[in-house]
Amino acid sequence: MAQKGDLMTVRTDIRVLDATIRDGGLVNNFRFTDDFINALYRANVKAGVDVMEFGYKASKELFDTDRFGKWKFCDEEDIRSVVGENNSDMKISVMADVGRCDYRTDIIDSGSSVIDMIRVATYIHQIPAAVRMIEDAKEKGYEVTCNIMAVSNAQESDVAQALEMVGQSSADGIYIVDSYGALVPEQIRRITELYLETAEKYDKYIGMHAHNNLQLAFANTIEAASNGASLLDATMMGMGRGCGNCAMELLLSFLRNPRYNIFPVLRFLEEQMLPLKESGVMWGYDIPYLLTGHLNQHPSAAIDYMKAGRTDYSEFYTDLLDR
Amino acid sequence: MAQKGDLMTVRTDIRVLDATIRDGGLVNNFRFTDDFINALYRANVKAGVDVMEFGYKASKELFDTDRFGKWKFCDEEDIRSVVGENNSDMKISVMADVGRCDYRTDIIDSGSSVIDMIRVATYIHQIPAAVRMIEDAKEKGYEVTCNIMAVSNAQESDVAQALEMVGQSSADGIYIVDSYGALVPEQIRRITELYLETAEKYDKYIGMHAHNNLQLAFANTIEAASNGASLLDATMMGMGRGCGNCAMELLLSFLRNPRYNIFPVLRFLEEQMLPLKESGVMWGYDIPYLLTGHLNQHPSAAIDYMKAGRTDYSEFYTDLLDR
């Protein structure tokens, strides 16, 4: 497949989505200060970020609101307290997990909401339920993506069938999600080509969400982009579950579109992200995440290991091999 | 150009070179303990590493031996005190900088040395002097590479001419060296193709030495490999100047050749690299290195900035733009 664009010109189809609150919230149970969220919103608008994700629309039946910060639930009034009517060019998204979201009641009509985009997150075996959520959100007037998680762990034949099912749905975009951070650029290239076949057939776009287990989140994101993906996830200082995601500062410094401005991002990093990190919130590349990524395993074992303050990497590796 | 090899099979032409002492020594003035060096040698042999670089052959006329550890000079007896006769499959290399090495006297005949390989490091404007050093080392019986530094800052026409000059020399291999960590995989692909034209014409191999300013050292290394580079530099925990290099643990976990074993590397990391890092030796990806890499500048300003303990990234960026 031909490379899309080059390193000198601008791909105007490319958009950047900031997922700091949503994926970063998995690290600190969504307990961000209001000051942090307000500063993040302003930084994203100034930086030219295209979409900002505020968090999850999680079910209050399933999850105790006392145990999590408000961005796990993303009530309409909480978002509005930050963005007002969102008089900016930036869109606002939330993520809705299959099986963990009361989408019929909690996602209101888009005409009454400041939210622009619903991202439906699904494992490959949940696609029928995902399609139902996609149609619900689409009927309510939202831009909708389908984020198929843990693609490195799915059979190729299942992925092909899932793509066909999502292709026939009303989703606007389909996401490549490397939840385990197990994929290398050569695999991302092949997967992007596969997704793009469906996307072109059904007039949808492709998104990319990477994890940094192998220090490849940025590399995989730009590899997907150069093969045709156009909605690219990043987070401030790479904040996200375990080893984190593609760093916003890396992605914006790479993209040539003059609409993007790295300066407000740098200021946000020094004023908000460094204090957050110094307060003890932990994320970022480290050896245990490399090992779960290398073995194509969920990062949970590495997260527990890091929280325990262990550094006996060789013992941890033996444990992982013995599972 | 066709991709070399794939993700399932083994490229038997690929070799891995450990540059921990040499590039890492730039961080701590080569002041490693004997225990560290002995453990590194044993770990590399056990891990199946193909070449271990002990340091520089720096001129004792130019550099004060009291100001640096012994691995800036790599005296024959110092290497032998670690490796004896080096009864292993692993080769031993040293680096010789153009203009900073008394190569005529300090590099002895290979028959009398435990060193197997001389890597001649040169800037693009020093190629005639590099060729003289290459011929000297070759006459003395060594495997020789020519490492053309800071390729991201060289004119393409100069690179083409340099390749032709080195191509006609006796060098066995030619190295792509991204000293500023400024290149992305798409550029590495093009550069590798260019180098490979010369390599195939003159029957030489291509090497890759990456820096991690954009979190792309590993990605660029495997991109170069999949396009034909076959001698790949890595360092333990990525230790190297500024943001460091491609991490050995990442590279060995990626390569499929069963000769490589990540386990002794993990043990070395926990037993030697972590204490080294905790002692205050600083390297690894951070925002200031991203900024010099992004701007294709030497990392020295970022190194000074990090040593000063500054975190006002936006101010630093303004400074860099104003140079």
What ipTM goes with this model?
A: 0.96
B310 and B222 both lie in a single domain: no
- Provide the pLDDT for residue A323: 83
At residue B1 the predicted structure's pLDDT band, cuts being 50, 70 and 90, is: low
Chain A CB contacts of B226 under 8 Å are: 186
pLDDT averaged over chain A? 97
Let me know: does B248 contact B263? Beta carbons within 8 Å. no
For chain A positions 261-300, those within 8 Å of chain B (CB to CB) are 262-263, 266-267, 269-270, 274, 285, 287, 290-291, 294
pLDDT score of B57: 98
CA dist., res. B180 & res. B243, Å (int): 10
Provide, for chain B, the percentages of residues in helix, strand and coil under a 3-state DSSP scheme, each rounded to the nearest 5: 45, 15, 40
Q: Which of residues 190-219 of A touch B (CB under 8 A)?
A: 212, 214-219
Percent pLDDT > 90 in chain A is: 97
State the count of interchain CB pairs (< 8 A) between A and B: 102
Are B250 and A7 a contacting pair at CB < 8 A? Answer: no
Range of the domain at B310: 287-321
- The first and second tokens of residue B104, run together, are 């005529």
Closest partner residue to A266 (CB to CB) among B253, B263, B313 is: B313
Q: How many other CB atoms are found less than 10 A from the CB of residue A109?
A: 10
Are B190 and B167 in the same domain?
Answer: yes
CB A212 within 8 A of CB A239: no
Q: Are B316 and B214 found together in one domain?
A: no
Question: Does B270 contact A313 at a Cβ distance shorter than 8 Å?
Answer: yes
Same domain, B172 and B263: yes
Q: What pLDDT sits at residue B292?
A: 97
> What pLDDT is stored for residue B2 in this prediction?
74
Q: Stretch A178-186: mean pLDDT, rounded? A: 97
In this structure, the answer to whether residues A250 and A313 fall within a common structural domain is no
Distance in Å, alpha carbon of B239 to nearest chain A alpha carbon: 14
Kindly state the percentage of chain A with pLDDT values over 70.
100
Question: CA-CA distance, A14 to A227, in Å (whole number)?
Answer: 12
Structure tokens at B136: 């000297």
Q: For residues A199 and B27, what is the distance between their CA atoms, to the nearest angstrom? A: 48
Provide the percentage of residues in chain B whose pLDDT is more than 70: 100
Query: Collapsing DSSP states into helix, strand and coil, what is residue B118?
Result: strand
Could you report the per-residue pLDDT of B73-106, keeping only the tens digit for each?
999 999 999 999 999 999 999 999 999 999 999 9
Question: Inter-chain contact A313–B266, Cβ cutoff 8 Å?
Answer: yes
- Domain membership flag for residue A6: no
Q: What is the pLDDT of residues A254-281, one digit of tens each?
A: 999 999 999 999 999 999 999 999 999 9
* Residues B255 and B304 grouped into a single domain: no
Summarize the confidence of residues A196-202 as an average pLDDT. Answer: 97
- Report the candidate in A28, A50, A43 with the shortest Cα–Cα distance to residue A82: A43
| Residue B192 DSSP SS3 | helix
Length of chain B: 323
Q: How far is B4 from chain A (nearest CA, A)?
A: 12
- φ, ψ for residue A176 (rounded to 5)? -85, 120
Tell me the residue ranges of DSSP E strands in B57-101: 91-97
On whether any CB of chain B is under 8 Å from the CB of A249, the answer is yes
Residue A121 has pLDDT above 60, yes or no: yes
pLDDT beyond 80 at A141? yes
Q: What is the mean pLDDT of residues A105-128?
A: 98
Q: What are the pLDDT digits (tens) for A26-74?
A: 999 999 999 999 999 999 999 999 999 999 999 999 999 999 999 999 9
Q: Which helix (H) or strand (E) holds A88?
A: none
Using a CB–CB cutoff of 8 Å, tell me whether B320 touches chain A: no
Supply the CATH number for residue A164's domain. Answer: 3.20.20.70
Please name the member of B185, B187, B317 whose beta carbon is closest to the beta carbon of A223: B185
pLDDT per residue as tens digits for the range B182-202: 999 999 999 999 999 999 999
Contact B171, B145 (CB under 8 A): yes
For residues B303 and B241, membership in a common domain is answered with: no
The domain total for chain A is 2
- In whole angstroms, give the CA distance from residue B158 to residue B100: 23
Average the pLDDT over B53-80 and give the result: 98
Residues A61 and A201 in one domain: yes
Are A205 and A305 within one domain? no
Chain B residues touching residue A219 (CB < 8 angstroms): 185, 215-216, 218-219
Q: How far apart are CA B211 and CA B294, in angstroms?
A: 12
Cα separations in angstroms, A57 against A65, A81, A98, A106: 12, 17, 10, 7
Do B178 and B294 have their domain in common? no
Angstroms from A321 CA to nearest CA on chain B: 11
The H-or-E segment that residue A108 falls in is none
Cα distance from B128 to chain A (closest Cα, Å)?
32
Write down the pLDDT at residue A55. Answer: 98
Position A1 scores a pLDDT of 56
Helices (H), B72-212: 76-83, 103-106, 127-139, 156-167, 185-202
Residue A314 has pLDDT above 80, yes or no: yes
Q: Are residues A61 and A106 in the same domain?
A: yes
Angle A185-202/A156-168 helices, nearest 10 degrees? 30
pLDDT in tens, B138-174: 999 999 999 999 999 999 999 999 999 999 999 999 9
Claim to verify: residue B244 and residue B291 sit in the same structural domain: no
User: Inter-chain contact A270–B218, Cβ cutoff 8 Å?
Assistant: no
- Is residue B272 very low, low, confident or very high in pLDDT (cuts 50, 70, 90)? very high
Model pLDDT, residue B305: 96
Neighbours of A193 (CB within 10 A): 12
Q: Mutation test of the interface with chain A: which of B152, B236, B269, B270, choosing the one with the most A Cβ atoms within 10 A?
A: B270
Could you tell me which chain B residue has the CA closest to the CA of A271?
A: B312
**pLDDT tens digits, B215-270:** 999 999 999 999 999 999 999 999 999 999 999 999 999 999 999 999 999 999 99
